[in-house]
């Protein structure tokens, strides 16, 4: 099985830093989202593809663990890894490193489910997602 | 003509404060939005009412002017005033004061237009908005 | 031991809703933060108190689990519960309900640690926090 | 006098789009901020440079004008232009275009003042900023 992964550098916005001069925890959700979008573009699993196939894929479980602070001016990068599962879910884990010294700054994971356009939960993998798995994994 | 206005107190979230320990300017957009929603509830001109009548009312012009910093722990309040116009627009101005000493902290104004659900600009006041004006002004 | 808890109603901002018409997951971080601030005010454990005692208390672990979507116009309320621990940490769990029908909408938990003002991790409870525990628990 | 300018492409985050499927107006503040940071890097006038010289430069006036909606999936780019002034201010204007067809999507402008680290307004250009102007303009 192939390991699907993407790594992108990112800049810390001044507005993302709090009064402690470190990135406010809620902003990690944005970095995770950026990583998912980059993954989606690389592997053709972005929001619009999912939507055009008739589904939403909302986040239903997300966890973030902080190791070291991210400071304004730091050069972090985020790696997103696809975690295979048989359930009708999309699971990722995340790692944020300081690109200067390789230090681990944070980790996280997320779970998305599939809803149809009437917001009903889909219990089996949608056909387009089965095809995607066959192609990429 | 009646003067339509609403004033609400608000709390400053820790996450809204930047590394200077003052509210980051982008967050004033949230305070203005909260004021519009409070106005909308008081005078029956909220997003859902507009939407249920078949329109969107996106912000097309917004301006914010800063007088004094808003600090974490301060007790500010925002006043929103309806600005009458014959154009097919919704115009508001805003004032933020420190409720402790009455000091003016910021001002602003915003303009919304009407779009139909195909995102076409509406050049004359929608009937529901004409009715609203007749009722309230 | 006393059970420390606070419940607050909240409004959903139009800007917090995404293209699916439901609250974007990242905004739950704001609701959790609002709940912590309300708890902090009720029980004298807010950011400024912690800061004035010489510490920061950043979030180091946060998890959010979604049960049902929060829609614009819904009347949700969030309950925050203090979770006692002997470790030098502040642990909370969270529940969001629909106040109309009592339905559970989301749960979450968070862990904060103490840093001194040089950003060093504090391994034992700071004296002010020991006093706080003695007073309230 | 040299014309100082920078243009950067940007992606629209799913979380930046509202229930109308278009970018929520408050997010333009983030795009403007990204443009200022890119400008600051190109011309050595970033937040850290200003801060290291002993000043803050908060936004005191910001205006945004919407021309056409920015949709998720669109490829916009933002241009920031430095606007020379003799006052002790940093003034920029902004233009957002669709890079596919060149259409103008939004414009804006911003004014920053200088505060010293006790938050006092500085009425004359700080020496470092005079040097900067001599070097670049």
Q: A134: burial class by Cβ within 10 Å (0-12, 13-18, 19+)?
A: exposed
Round to whole Å and give the CA distance between C68 and C105: 5
- For chain B, give the number of residues: 137
Round to whole Å and give the CA distance between A61 and A112: 7
- What pLDDT is recorded for position A125? 96
Q: Which of C14, C26, C72 sits opposite D15 (nearest CB)?
A: C26
Q: How confident is the model at residue B106 (pLDDT cuts 50, 70, 90)?
A: very high
Radius of gyration of chain A (CA): 16
Domain count, chain C: 1
**CA neighbor of B28 nearest in space, from D25, D94, D50, C29:** D25
Report the side by side order of strands in the sheet with A76-83. A5-9, A76-83, A89-98, A104-113, A59-66, C59-66, C104-113, C89-98, C76-82, C5-9
A58/C64 CB distance under 8 A:
no
- What pLDDT is recorded for position C20? 80
Decide: helix, strand or coil at residue C29: helix
Please say whether the dihedral angle defined by the alpha carbons of residues D86, D87, D88 and D94, taken in this order, is positive or negative. Answer: negative
A contact residues 27-86, partner B, Cβ 8 Å cutoff: 72
Average pLDDT on B56-67 reads 94
C14/B73 CB distance under 8 A:
no
pLDDT by residue for chain D (137 residues), tens only, comes to 789 999 999 999 888 988 788 899 999 999 999 999 999 999 999 988 999 999 999 999 999 999 998 998 899 999 999 999 999 999 999 999 999 999 999 999 999 999 998 889 999 999 999 999 999 99
B14/A15 CB distance under 8 A:
no
C94 contact partners, CB below 8 Å, separation of at least 6: C31, C32, C35, C78, C79, C80, C81, C106, C107, C108, C109, C110
CA–centroid distance for C109 within its chain:
8
CATH number at residue B78: 3.10.129.10
Q: Which of B15, B33, B48 sits opposite C13 (nearest CB)?
A: B33
**CA neighbor of C108 nearest in space, from C69, C48, C75, C63:** C63
Round to whole Å and give the CA distance between C99 and C95: 12
**What are the chain B neighbours of A15 within 8 Å (beta carbons)?**
18, 24, 26
Where b means 16+ CB within 10 Å and e means fewer, B75-88 reads: ebbbbbbbeeeeeb
pLDDT by residue for chain C (137 residues), tens only, comes to 789 999 999 999 888 988 788 899 999 999 999 999 999 999 999 988 999 999 999 999 999 999 998 998 899 999 999 999 999 999 999 999 999 999 999 999 999 999 998 889 999 999 999 999 999 99
Per residue in B107-131, pLDDT (tens digit) is 999 999 999 988 899 999 999 999 9
Output the pTM of the full model: 0.89
A14/B15 CB distance under 8 A:
no
B119 touches chain C (CB under 8 A): no
Decide: helix, strand or coil at residue A36: helix
Range of the domain at C53: 5-136
Q: Which chains touch A (3 or more CB pairs under 8 A)?
A: B, C, D
Q: Which helix or strand (DSSP H or E) is residue D33 part of?
A: helix D28-43
**CA neighbor of C33 nearest in space, from D52, B72, B136, B78:** B72
Per residue in B87-101, pLDDT (tens digit) is 999 999 999 999 999
Q: Which chains touch B (3 or more CB pairs under 8 A)?
A: A, C, D
CA–centroid distance for B31 within its chain:
8
Q: How many CB pairs under 8 A join A and C?
A: 49
- What pLDDT is recorded for position B40? 96
- What pLDDT is recorded for position D62? 96
The stretches in chain A having pLDDT less than 50 are: none
ipTM of predicted complex: 0.89
d(CA A29, nearest CA chain C) in Å: 6
B16 touches chain C (CB under 8 A): no
């Amino acid at each position: 099985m192939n390991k699907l992964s993407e790594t992108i550098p990112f800049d810390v916005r001044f507005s993302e830093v709090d009064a402690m001069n470190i990135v406010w925890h809620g902003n990690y959700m944005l970095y995770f989202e950026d990583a998912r979008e980059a993954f989606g573009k690389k592997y053709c699993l972005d929001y619009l593809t999912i939507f055009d196939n008739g589904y939403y894929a909302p986040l239903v479980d997300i966890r973030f663990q902080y190791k070291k602070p991210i400071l304004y001016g730091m050069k972090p990068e985020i790696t997103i890894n696809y975690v295979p599962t048989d359930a009708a879910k999309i699971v990722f884990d995340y790692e944020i490193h300081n690109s200067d010294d390789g230090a681990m700054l944070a980790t996280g994971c997320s779970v998305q489910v599939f809803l149809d356009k009437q917001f009903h939960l889909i219990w089996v993998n949608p056909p387009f997602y089965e095809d995607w798995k066959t192609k990429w994994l």
